[in-house]
Amino acid sequence: MLIDLHGRTALVTGSTQGIGRAIAATLADAGARVAINGRSAETVDAVVAELLAEAPQRNLVAAPGDVTDEAGTDAVLSAIGHVDVLVNNLGIFGAEPALDITDDEWRRYFEVNVLAAVRLIRATLPGMKERGWGRVLNIASDSAIVIPAEMIHYGMSKTALLAVSRGFAKDAAGTGVTVNSVIAGPTHTGGVESFVYELVDPALPWDEAQREFMRLHRPQSLLQRLIEPQEIANMVAYLSSPLASATTGAAVRVDGGYVDSILP
């Protein structure tokens, strides 16, 4: 199968590192014009330069701005123009005892992980519907289904994203626009490395720490290893393409078999 996104413009939020960066590079390699987003203009410019150094043919746009507020969202969208593929990847996570999570933390997780995505969908979906083609992808998590005891607030926000995806898919019904969520399993990123070391002995070498983390905290993973960001990006590229025209309103799993279910 050939994934061809030439002529399409994609925005990947939080794309200066980790899963977002892998998604942005993969969409660009498929021919899309891709907007790299992060809060710092300096960081965004540096990542654009790095990605172009890897593959000079990539068509990249610097789109710095904080999409967790309206002004930042407007700045990002102004730098891009119209958006054909929206990937809401930005998210925060962290471990905290359930009874210690404050009202402010509950609000912060909702505003960053859910409301920022909703705001961007509201801004871009009308244009997609009018043009008769578009893709909206919300990066969710296995934590949306298997709520971790150590980060209930994060799980709540990712469960909400599943509902957001399904609801906006209904709004886009029959327009040629698809809206889906991607349930990413435990993935190897810099942020996750720090998180792993919060939960296991920080003196352990990384390979041992990863195995100990999976054994103690994610034992139901069928892969029995962390997923690599490129593996998430591959699924996102497919769902962003014309090949996935009949997949909408879905929660598609790239979770390494972590969720113990025969349904998505």
Rg of the chain's alpha carbons, rounded to an integer? 18
CATH number at residue 17: 3.40.50.720
State yes or no: pLDDT of 192 exceeds 90: no
Q: In terms of domains, do 107 and 193 share one? A: no
Q: How many structural domains does the chain have?
A: 2
Examine the domain organization and report whether 90 and 220 are in the same domain: no
Q: Residues 238, 244: contact at Cβ < 8 Å?
A: yes
Q: Are residues 113 and 199 in the same domain?
A: no
Answer whether 200's CB lies under 8 Å from 209's CB: yes
Residue 240 · residue 136 · CB < 8 Å: no
- 63: helix, strand or coil: coil
Pair (90, 153) in one structural domain: yes
Q: What is the pLDDT of residues 201-233, one digit of tens each?
A: 999 999 999 999 999 988 999 998 899 999 999
The encoded tokens of residue 151 equal: 């980060």
Q: Which tens digits make up the pLDDT trace of 66-103?
A: 999 999 999 999 999 999 999 999 999 998 999 999 99
In a domain, 174, yes or no: yes
Could you list the active site residues? 154
Number of Cβ atoms within 10 Å of the Cβ of 248: 21
Domain that holds residue 207: 188-226
Q: Where would I find the beta strands (DSSP E) of 173-240?
A: 177-184
Shared domain for 45 and 80, answered yes or no, is yes
Backbone phi, psi, residue 44, to 5°:
-60, -50
| Residue 10 C-alpha from the chain's centroid | 13
Q: Is residue 254 part of a domain?
A: no
131/173 same-domain check: yes
172 and 127 share a domain? yes
Same domain, 81 and 179: yes
> In the chain, what percentage of residues exceed pLDDT 70?
100
Q: What pLDDT does 190 receive?
A: 83
Percent helix, strand, coil in the chain (nearest 5)?
50, 15, 35
If asked whether residues 41 and 138 sit together in one domain, one would say yes
